[in-house]
Amino acid sequence: MFVGNLPSDASEDGVRELFSEFGTVRSIQLASDVFTGKCRGFGFIEMEGHEARAAIAGLDGKTFGGKPLKVRYEDTRGRGRGGKKRRRR
């Protein structure tokens, strides 16, 4: 799943705690700023399908760290693989 609009002070532990209310969190990847190490406001969470749907329904729009979350299903498998660029002639 994609989670957006996270506060800059969001941590993996805090996000895991929030999502674990809906089931087992397999993995969390928060995007962080290279220089400051702070959260860039989005990340990806992996959960079982039915648990993920419950998390989306329960957390999309919910306030976390003073900001309304954006939680969406996103299948990241298969991205960046295959497909060749066409060469212009």
Q: Which domains does the chain have, with CATH numbers?
A: 2-72 (3.30.70.330)
Q: Give yes or no for residue 83 having a pLDDT over 90.
A: no
What is the predicted pLDDT for the residue at 74?
Answer: 81
Look up residue 37 and give its two tokens.
């190490």
In the β-sheet with 2-4, what is the strand arrangement from edge to edge? 25-32, 39-47, 2-4, 70-72
Quickly list H helices, 2-74: 12-19, 49-59
The model's pLDDT over 8-27, given as tens digits with 9 standing for 90+, comes to 999 999 999 999 999 999 99
Q: What is the DSSP letter of 20?
A: G
CA 40 to CA 32: how far, in whole Å? 5
Q: Which conformational region is residue 47 in: left (phi greater than 0), alpha (psi within -120 to 50 degrees), or beta?
A: beta
